[in-house]
Each structure stands twice: as structure tokens, then as C-alpha cells.
Amino acid sequence: MPELIANGPIKQTNLSKRQQKIAERQRQMAKQNNTNFRKAERNFKSKAFLPDMSNVIHFSQLEKNSETNLLKIIPVQLPVNLWELDRDMFEDPNCNLSDKNNENTKEIHKPFLQKAYTLSDHPGLIVIPNPFKNSGQRRLVKKTLCDWACFPNKTNLDPFYNMEIQNSLFEQHVIDSENQITNPEYKAPLIKSLFENDESSFKESKSTTTKKDDTCTTDNTNSGITDIKNLETGENRTKCQTNLAVTQPKNEFYLQSHNASDLLDHLRWTTIGNQYNWTTKAYDIDKNIPVHDDLSLLMKNIIKCIYGAKITNENGTEQTINAYDFSKYVVQAGVINYYGLDSTLLAHVDKSEENMDAPLISISLGCSCIYLVGGDSKQGNLTPILLNSGDIMASCGPSRTAYHGVPRIFDNSCPSFLTDIENEELDIQQNQVNWKPFSDYISKHRINFNARQCTL
Ligand SMILES: O=C(O)CCC(=O)C(=O)O
């Protein structure tokens, strides 16, 4: 009979030392699987029943919050409007004054100020509900799928494919689709699998690893569903750096060459700037790909806007919640995450940057999601936030090291100005862009892009 030790492991005296170790490991794993995070992830992930949304924070529509939640939402005063920093990208906060200053929803923003909030349980977290012009968001969708997503920036597909293509995967998909319409004979070029014709080595080495230069390793690149996982530990996330031990893909899809449209379904992320080394869990400083100027400018403007952000405490005193000097800020690295409707991102902490004082800026586009934010552990106080297209989140101060994850993307939640293909007003400036392929993609995806300063 197992002997029950108070607050300790169940000790089975008839087990060998090794078996006891295994039993203890399993017990620890079961415990980990029951953290507040796991419970919340299970609730929001489930498609079998409607998730309990009662404690979700809504920053865009304060009236949707429960009374308890409203008490947790604290308005933040920002020193400058984003619109003053970039009038092409951001909406003038005064253009819709009629829906502001609603007594019932504790809206205390004065005209001319940018709306922003923090949460009493998560000091340092700042959310600016969608400050973008509709056309600004459309431009960002294009940049995250095309301009910023090109080789040599790495994607989760790099371990398996020769991604040295001229265009981004999405652009190639568009070119192929257009060619197929005009020429039914057109054959979309295949992007070569690094494992094609390697079936024998695949079979042989299923349980072994090999060393390859400038290739990558994956530990669980399976169905393409729920495969964006822990960024920091690399758990279940494709590892993609130099000089790594390479395991063969478990999913046979990756053994074959495919055209861009097929591969697009498997695109989960692109890393920008300094590339992250999944083995050393550090940035490869020598893999420093220049960050696009427009991405840097956007992030710098946001950093400028939140510099000196303040809240007013209950006793009337003012408290600065972010004092990171914008003149020291440089975008050195970033990730563009592409979420399908079934994708999730498990709880993790972004802690590989030497500079943990610079705020981490993160922007959502397309379908809405539940973003879970916790504290120092997966057991701590946990808050689900509904993030909509255009929402900006800045993780400053203590919230910079908080656990966070994305357990749910909502279907039918993409705003119509991103899916609407008729609206000429919204056409991407200067370029006659055919919006249809973008509309098809973004109506079923969420794109998140974030920027980090790595060094001090
Ligand atoms: O998708 C998000 O909002 C969060 C992304 C994230 O946590 C990451 O890339 O590390």
C-alpha cells in the first residue's frame, strides 16, 4: 500500500529507487498541469463547451466588464497622443468624442488624451485599445505578411525548407494564385524540403539526432494545430538556429516539397532582427538582421507615448508606471506570430533579453484572442484579457517578467475593415494592392507582432 506523507510525495515502499523517481516526476508533472494557468488554458481552449468569459477584461468596451473587473481597470495618463507622433498611422483621439466620458464605465479620459489602461493586479502592464486608423491596420497586415517577413528572417519552416526565396511566403502564395487564374497551366514552384529523398535517413534516425550546420531542430512539429508553444523553453516550438542537433521531422508533411500556398498553412512565426538561439536560449548577436525602419519607427513612437505614463492612486497621488527613457530605446529583435483559429501559445516568460527594463511592445491584428497574464509563477494571480485587432500592449516594470499565453483565437471576430475588399478608401496607400488574398487570410487568423530591446 502506498504510504501517504503529509504535503509530500506518495511513497510506495515496494518500488525501486528508479520507479520512485519516475513516480515523483509524474506527480510533479500532474501538479504542474493543474496550475491556475493550465486550468484557465483548458477553459478557454475548449471548443466542446462555451468558455466561462465572466472574468475576461474588455478594454475596448468597458461596459462589457463585470463590476468586479471594473474595479481592477485603472486609466493611465499618457503624456502624448500617438496621433501627434504619426498622423498617417494613428487615429485622432478626438474624432469620436461622443462615445467618451461615459459615467457608468468609469471613463475619465479628458478629450485630447489617448485612452490607455492598466490593471491593479498587473503593475506595469499598459493596454492602448486600438489607436490605429483602419488604413493603418491594413498597412500593418501587409507588412507582417510581406515586407517584414522575408528571408533572411527565419520562420518555423526554415528547419525543413530552403526558404531562400525572393518574396515572403505570403507574397509567393499571392503570385501563384494570381498566375493560376490567368493561366490554368501554371504550376506553382515548389519550395524544396531539406528532407526530400531522405526517407531512408528519416527511418533510420527517427530516434537519433544528427548535426547540421545552419539548420534547425524540431521536437514536435505535428499537425500544425496548437504548435506555437513555449517561446522561452522552446518546448514544442520549432528550433531554428545554427549548429543545432537536428532531429528529423515527425510530421511527414515536412519531408516533401510544397508550394507556397500549402506551406502558408504551416507558417507559425517569423523572427526579426537578432535571431534567437533555441539551444542556448540566447540571442545570436552575430545573426543580426537589420530591422525595417518603419517597424522601428512605429515601436519608438509607442515607447515615446508611454514614457512617463501615470496613474492616479486612490489617495489622489500620482504614480509613474513607466520611466523607460525613449531616447535609449532601439528595436533589436521581434517575433511575428501567425495564429490560425486553432493555434495557441502556452504560458511562458520572455526573459532572454539582457535588457529587461525596456518595455516589450506587442500589437494584435485580425481575429480577437484571449490573452492570459499572470505573475512570477503559473500559480499566481491570473487575468484573461480580450485583445482585439489594433490593440497595443506594453509590458513594463514587473509585468515584463510575467507569465503570459494565448489559449484562444475567436472565429468571426476580425473587423470588417480588414475583410472588406470593396472599400477603395482603405486601399493601401500609393500601391494598388489587391486586398482579396489579405482579406481571406486575416479573416481566419490573428497576427501578433512584438519588439524587444535585447542589450542595455
Ligand atoms: O500573441 C501574443 O499576444 C503574445 C506573443 C508572445 O507572447 C511571444 O511571441 O512571446
Reported as a single tens digit per residue, the pLDDT across 198-213 is 554 444 333 323 222 2
Per-residue pLDDT tens digits for 291-350? 999 999 999 999 999 999 999 999 999 999 999 999 999 999 999 999 999 999 999 999
The reply to whether 33 falls in a domain is no
In the sheet with 57-58, reading across from the earlier edge strand, the strands are 57-58, 383-387, 369-373, 404-409, 345-348
Q: 256 with 302, same domain?
A: no
Q: Is the confidence at residue 183, as pLDDT, over 80?
A: yes
Q: Which of 337, 348, 351, 388 to mutate to test the pocket of ligand 1 (most atoms within 8 A of CB)?
A: 337
Q: Where are the beta strands (DSSP E) in 116-194?
A: 117-119, 122-128, 190-191
Instruction: Please report, rounded to a whole number, the percentage of residues in the chain having pLDDT higher than 70.
Output: 79
What does the pLDDT read at residue 13?
Answer: 57
Residue 147 marked in a binding site: no
Give a yes or no: residue 13 inside a domain: no
Instruction: Residue 69: name the closest of 82, 53, 92 by CA.
Output: 53
312 lies in the same domain as 390: yes
User: Which is the closest atom of ligand 1 to the Cα of 231?
Assistant: 10
Same domain, 307 and 446: yes
| Paired strand residues for 335 | 271, 450
pTM of the model: 0.84
Structure confidence at residue 195 (pLDDT):
92
CB 384 within 8 A of CB 404: no
Contact between 80 and 70 (Cβ < 8 Å): no
Residue nearest to atom 7 of ligand 1 (CA): 405
Is the pLDDT reported for residue 367 higher than 70? yes
* Three cell numbers, residue 409: 483565437
Nearest ligand 1 atom, CA 339: 1
pLDDT for the residue 227: 35
147 within a domain of the structure (yes/no): no
The verdict on whether residue 58 carries a ligand-binding annotation is no
Instruction: Please tell me whether residues 56 and 113 are part of one structural domain.
Output: yes
pLDDT band at 225 (very low <50, low <70, confident <90, very high): very low
5 falls within a domain = no
Same domain? For 252 and 294 the reply is: no
Q: Are residues 111 and 232 in the same domain?
A: no
Which residues approach ligand 1 with their CB closer than 6 A? 231, 335, 337, 345, 350, 362, 371, 404, 406, 448, 450
Grid cell, residue 33, equals: 498541469
- The confidence band for 11, taking pLDDT boundaries of 50, 70 and 90, is very low
Atom number, ligand 1, closest to the C-alpha of residue 371 = 3
Tell me the CA–centroid distance for residue 337 and ligand 1, in Å: 7
Burial of 53 (0-12, 13-18, 19+ CB in 10 A): middle
Confidence at 449, pLDDT banded by 50, 70, 90 = very high
pLDDT value of position 112: 66
Residues 194 and 83 in one domain: no
Same domain, yes or no, for 253 and 387? no
From 125, 154, 231, give the residue whose CB has the most ligand 1 atoms within 8 Å, as the site to mutate.
Answer: 231
Q: How far apart are the first and last CA of the chain?
A: 57
pLDDT band for 128, please (50, 70, 90 cuts): very high
Same domain, 132 and 214: no
Residues 181, 320, single domain; the answer is no
Task: For residue 369, give the ligand 1 atom closest to its CA.
Answer: 3
Whole-number average pLDDT of the chain? 84
CB 58 within 8 A of CB 65: yes
Nearest protein Cα to ligand 1, atom 10:
231
Q: Which of 232, 267, 302 is at the close of a domain?
A: 267
**pLDDT exceeds cutoff 50 at 371:** yes
Half-sphere exposure of 249 (CA within 13 A, CB side): 26
Task: Judge whether 377 lies within some domain.
Answer: yes
Which is it for strands 57-58 and 383-387: parallel, antiparallel or unpaired? parallel
Please report the atom of ligand 1 found closest to the CA of residue 448: 1
List the Cα angle 321/325/330 in 5-degree steps. 120
364 in any annotated domain:
yes
Say if 284 falls within a structural domain: no
Overall number of domains in the chain: 2
Name the 3-class secondary structure at 385.
strand
Q: How far is the CA of 372 from the centre of ligand 1 (A)?
A: 10
Is pLDDT of 174 > 50? yes
- How sure is the predictor about 31, in pLDDT bands with cuts at 50, 70 and 90? low
pLDDT at 196 over 60: yes
Residue 16 inside a domain? The answer is no
For the ranges 15-24, 39-48, 398-407, the maximum mean pLDDT occurs at: 398-407
pLDDT at position 424 is 64
Query: In the predicted model, is pLDDT for residue 2 greater than 80?
Result: no
Query: Could you tell me if 261 and 301 lie in one domain?
Result: no
Instruction: Please state the rounded mean pLDDT for residues 149-178.
Output: 95
| Share of residues in the chain with pLDDT > 90 (%) | 68
Q: What residue owns the CA closest to ligand 1's atom 8? A: 231
Which residue's C-alpha cell is 489579405?
438
Query: Which amino acid would we find at residue 169?
Result: L
Cα distance between residue 385 and residue 372, in whole Å: 6
Q: Where do we find the cell 517569423?
A: 270
CA gyration radius, the chain: 23
Q: Does the annotation list 348 as a binding residue? A: yes
Strand, coil or helix: what is 93? coil
State the residue range of the domain holding 122.
50-142+289-452
For residues 325 and 429, membership in a common domain is answered with yes
Buried b (16+ CB within 10 A) or exposed e, 55-94: ebbbbbebeebeeebbebbbbbbbeebbbebbeebbbebe
pLDDT value at residue 210: 28
Q: For residues 453 and 211, which has the higher predicted lDDT (pLDDT)?
A: 453
User: Would you say residue 148 has pLDDT above 70?
Assistant: yes
Q: How far apart are CA 151 and CA 166, in angstroms?
A: 7
Q: How far does the centroid of ligand 1 lie from the alpha carbon of residue 178, in Å?
A: 32
